[in-house]
Amino acid sequence: MSNSIKKKEDKEKTEDVLKALSKKSYEHEFYTPLPPGYEAGRTKFIIITGSVMSGLGKGIFSASLARVLEDYGLRASPMKFDGYLNVDAGTLNPYRHGEVFVLDSGLECDMDLGTYERFLDKNLGDENYLTGGKIFTRVLSMERKGKYLGRDVQFIPHVTGEIKRFVRTLALNTKADVVLIEVGGTVGDIENQYFIEAMRQLAYEEGRDNTCFVNLTYILEPRFLGEQKSKAAQLGIRRLMGLGVQPDIIACRATNPVSEKVREKISIYSNVPFKNVLSMHDRESIYYVPDMIREAKLDRVVLETLNITNAREDKKRREMWASFVERLKNRKREITIGITGKYTGVRDSYASILKALEHAGASLRTKVNVKWIETTEIERKPEILEEKMSGVDAIVVPGGFGKRGSDGKIMCVRYARENRIPFLGLCFGFQMAIVEFARDVCGLDGANSTELDKETPYPVIDLLPEQKKIEGLGGNMRLGGFDVSVSKNTLAFKLYKDTTIRERFRHRYECNPKYIKLLEEKGLVFSGRSPKHEIMQILELPDHPFFIATQFHPEFTSRPLRPNPLFKGIVEAAISRKEKK
């Protein structure tokens, strides 16, 4: 039978299955709502699961694979499922979950969506992120409206049906050739089982050539043994198979390259061909992973599994990425930038900042080393500030919420200002820069943010009543992408080279308009403002080598091939300072 005939027959079978499943008969046991206009077989689906442990890098793997597929001219749409009952990631503690990433739409989501945006160099939307809380909210809302025709609402078919609707809607709305679905957590987590069941059903309904399951597993290598052990990986994969899912590809995460012997064991135990069991070991940068995928010929395996025969590699896209990787590998200088935060014990809390510095460093062929400076420690022992600041060529004061560590951040801002160290403040760092300037330059003793001290005599940072009128998400939180008007003849204009820019925000408090005139009279320049409201968004000090802070989060818009101008600026300033020493 020719391939074209087989492909046609498979598509017809898939369409027949979907037509049968979507019947709205009261007595029908299936529930597979299809979005209007959905065409069976138009989109391919890759489902990525993890076993043994979480934190394997499923997001990095998904983003890298999506990048490689787009290099073949395919339109890839990634999505992440988190089993948490939170509706979004906005209330998650960075210590427990890492950084909260913010989309241009204002959605607060998992940091993996930041990884997707960086690798694909495109903005994602609300439809790229799903949580348990989000899907249950939808199901319960529909039940209250009588949309289930009096049926007893169950995990199967209703919850699984709504999950499949969400996935297919993403495929339809983004006109995706391939949708990559990352299942957060690990196989065996109670909160993931209904989602994996939905993916099993999706594969059954879409047809064999339209779905591909990839399992990331972990190969242990205990130091006291001195060898790699695969038993935990075998049991994790068997757990997945027990849920009715036969993986097509096994990617083995490990510290060192996975041995052939271990890959053979995994192959035998999982019914996965040996050539489809791959080593995905640690590399110096996550941006080397797309090349690892190509070297392992995983791209060819995926295309064959999904019966994609018309893909042709876009050499220009491939060369652009290769050029970026080459600059990463061949950096000619090093600098050290201090990150002064209060979540320094969990590096994922500042993931986007680290990546933005890496992007800027690569563009300048410079390796950026990070020195972590815990501001709560500086609060307890101010005398160690000088020691902590030694050896840094620049500092970044990142965002955050709450009083803990805030005085330590203010001390770091003052040190950078007085010692002419290149400084970049982000969100809360912007607010602390205003507090420091108000206290130490304007003479407003006790000046503070009302978030930190409701009784402050000089509330230079305050929650503005006007905000409540213009915000539509997160209560009074200002979330998502907004335009910023940049003044000419300023450092901000020199960096951005434009008078209108768009950046992403996540904050409640603003510079109090009552104090703007005084701050400006004393030398502070507000070089970026809201086009429609009296909201200060960028500040700088003209008589300082590099002192700039933003109410927004520029790290969220930095990309490997397009570093954010502010991060490129601080890396350049750090290079200049080091060369003058």
Active site residues: 427, 553, 555
SS (H, E, C) 374-401: EHHHHHHCHHHHHHHHCCCCEEEECCCC
Question: 263: Cβ–Cβ under 8 A, 6 or more apart, which residues?
Answer: 252, 274, 277, 278, 279
Residues 257, 255: Cα–Cα separation, whole Å? 7
Beta bridge partner(s), residue 229: 220
- Contacts (Cβ under 8 Å, ≥6 apart) of 357: 337, 368, 370, 396, 567, 571
3-class secondary structure, 450? coil
Query: How far is 301 from 315, CA to CA, in rounded Å?
Result: 20
The answer to whether 246 and 213 have CB atoms below 8 angstroms apart is: yes
Instruction: Kindly state the tokens that stand for 2.
Output: 């020719």
The CA distance from 147 to 149, in Å, is 6
Alpha-helical segments (H) within 271-391? 289-295, 298-305, 315-329, 351-363, 375-380, 385-389
DSSP string, 166-203: HHHHHHHHTT-SEEEEEE-S-TT-HHHHHHHHHHHHHH
How far apart are alpha carbons 12 and 427 in whole angstroms?
Answer: 54
Length of the chain counted residue by residue? 581
CA distance 506 to 483: 14
How many CB atoms lie under 10 A from the CB of residue 279? Answer: 18
**Sign for the pseudo-dihedral over CA of 491, 496, 501, 506:** negative
Name the 3-class secondary structure at 218: strand
Rounded Cα distance between 575 and 148, Å, is 63
How many angstroms separate the CA atoms of 56 and 59, rounded?
A: 9
**Does residue 368 contact residue 333 with C-beta atoms inside 8 Å?**
no
Q: What are phi and psi of 55, to 5 degrees?
A: 75, 25
DSSP letter at 274?
G
Which has the closest alpha carbon to 374: 414, 425, 348, 338? 338
Are residues 352 and 111 in contact, defined by beta-carbon separation less than 8 angstroms? yes
Judge contact between 182 and 80, C-beta under 8 A.
Answer: yes
Q: How far apart are CA 576 and CA 216, in angstroms?
A: 43
What tokens does 544 get?
């300082």
Q: Which two tokens stand for residue 499?
A: 């008078």
Describe the chain by its helix, strand, coil percentages, rounded to 5: 45, 20, 35
Q: What is d(CA 94, CA 387) in angstroms, rounded to the nearest whole number?
A: 27
Rounded-to-integer distance, Cα 249 and Cα 237, Å: 11
